[in-house]
Amino acid sequence: MNDLFSLAGRCALVTGGSRGIGRMIAAGFPAQGARVYISARKAEACDRTAAELSALGTCVSLPADISTPEGVKALVDAFARHEPALDILVNNAGAAWGESFDTFPEKGWDKVVDLNLKTPFFLTQALFEPLRKAAANRPAKVINIASIDGISVNPQETYSYAASKAGLIQLTRRMALRLVKDNIVVSAIAPGAFASDMNRVARDHAEETAKRIPAGRIGVDDDMAGAAIYLASRAGDYVVGSTLVVDGGVTHAR
């Protein structure tokens, strides 16, 4: 039981790891013994976060714009220069777009759906061999970061975001059934209100937001790190294709 949540000797790649939920997860993994690689589009921010998290353990910056096939390949190649195998992939990089139905633009659809839904599939596909190599010893893990907006509807007009996250939850199920044959366990996390640049309402109006949450508060870093560690560790080996909702009870209250 002492090793149930350990990540000792494991390596993890967290996309969108320079800030927000990605950073929360990337900060939690080294404390459990993992070597962590973070990727983000902005190199300066990625490097700065990696330097800060290095105080907790090994954390390496691999800047890349994975919204394009070229960026995905660049990230895969960069990771391969450091590690021969990948134990844990966290598909967290994402985008949002809010606009009324009448004026919602195609670019707001394509940008969000491509990064939130298409990229997790093709990045996982591109990293299949390193994942399978790691899975020869014990299950490798793929954790997709979805959202409660893919489960229930909120008042905001974020059409492409909600659709992409709902799609990611279903994609998680489909990928899980295929990849478990290679001892690669796929699951997802659906966060609720956590303070981040993407969720500025929770960040800038935490007390007001907390009034709408049954738990009476917004999520904190340890809530997200704990959920990711559970799924990434031996404790989550039998969680195949499921989405772990981490929202303080919001989806049950809507």
Question: Residue 106 sits in a domain of what CATH number?
Answer: 3.40.50.720
Task: Decide if 159 is catalytic.
Answer: no
Residue 2 included in any domain: no
Average pLDDT over residues 42-63: 97
pLDDT tens track for 6-27: 999 999 999 999 999 999 999 9
Give the CA-trace dihedral at 5, 8, 13, 18, to 10 degrees. Answer: 80
The answer to whether residue 5 sits within a structural domain is no
Query: Is residue 194 in some structural domain?
Result: yes
- The count of domains in the chain is 1
Q: Which conformational region is residue 212 in: left (phi greater than 0), alpha (psi within -120 to 50 degrees), or beta?
A: alpha
Q: What is the mean pLDDT of the chain?
A: 94
Percent above pLDDT 70 for the chain: 96
Confidence of residue 2 (pLDDT cuts 50, 70, 90): confident
Confirm whether 69 is domain-assigned.
yes
List 159, 161, 230, 238, catalytic entry: 161
Q: How do residues 160-200 score in pLDDT, each as one tens digit? A: 999 999 999 999 999 999 999 999 999 999 999 898 766 66
Question: Residue 152 falls within a domain, yes or no?
Answer: yes
* Residue 6 in domain: no
Task: Give the pLDDT of residue 211.
Answer: 80
Is there a domain that residue 1 lies in? Answer: no
In a domain, 110, yes or no: yes
Q: Which domain holds residue 118?
A: 11-253
* C-alpha–C-alpha distance, residues 131 and 135, integer Å: 6
pLDDT at 203 (0 to 100): 66
